[in-house]
Copies of this chain bind each other. A is one copy, B any other.
Amino acid sequence: MRHQPPDPEAEAAPRPRRRKTPITVEQVVDTALGVIATEGYEALTMRRLAGALDTGPASLYAHVVNKADLDELLIGRLCAELVLPEPDPAAWREQIRGVCTQIRDQYLKYPGISRAALAMAPTDLETVRVTEGMLAILLAGGVAPQAAAWAIDALLLYVAAYCLEVSIARRRSAHDDATWVLDRDELLRRFTALPAATFPHTTRHAAELTAGEGHDRFDFTLGLMIDGVAHR
């Protein structure tokens, strides 16, 4: 069947066949980040993104080879926003902690995007800029090159995983999923309700297992790793 004639009288022009200002990659990335910021990474589909740009999904593939490629561009943009301090040997711990906190806040600003970061190649230019900055801080602090390199890898991996977990938890609590353990109180209740005979430590230390306001757990783990690499 042939597609129906345009019938210009009856309908308002559905859309100019050629838009005034062509779509750019920057526009695509910006719009994608906007969608993620308001609706989360899972809502970022090619159709949703195309709709936000007032076009069809096929148009995106002129600027982006893949969705994986789009993911790389998004992470690259995020990394570009990070400010890497000039290394100060006396304050290397606070500096490396600051960079990790920046990454954490960027990830959490765009919920779920850390999933893309975990699946990405470490070869992107903006990514190596971050690695370079962190490496400079650790080396200035007197950390051995090998330990510094591996510690950066571990830190980046942990931050991404932490943010993914937090994002998932927030999304589920926002969705008001009744079967999901929403708050700490509910989790605490479940732990204390366990049979004390088979789970003695879990029931006794349920408070500690569920403790942690805000990013206490994050700060603790960063301290663990940074102290560990300092004593090496």
Residues of A within 8 A of B (CB): 118-119, 121-123, 128-129, 131-132, 135-136, 139, 145-151, 153-154, 157-158, 160-162, 164-165, 168, 180-181, 187, 190-191, 194, 198-202, 205, 208-209, 211-212, 216-217, 220-221, 223-225, 227-229, 231-232
Contact = CB atoms under 8 A, between A and B. Distances in A.
Contacts of A135: 201-202, 205, 209
B157 A161 contact: yes
Contact of A123 (B190, B198, B216): B190
Contacts of A160: 161
A129 B191 CA distance: 11
A200 B87 CA distance: 13
Contacts of A119: 168
A74 to B, nearest CB: 17
SS class, residues of chain A in contact with chain B: helix
A140 B41 CA distance: 42
Given A132-B201, A145-B205, A150 B227 contact: no
Contacts of A154: 158, 217, 220-221, 224
B187 A123 contact: yes
Assembly stoichiometry (copies)? 2
Given A128-B194, A157-B161, A148 B208 contact: yes
Contact of A231 (B180, B202, B227): B227
Contacts of A224: 151, 154, 224-225, 228-229, 232
B202 A150 contact: no
Given A154-B221, A157-B161, 9 more contacts: A122-B181, A128-B202, A132-B201, A146-B208, A150-B220, A157-B158, A221-B225, A224-B225, A225-B228
Contacts of A145: 205, 208
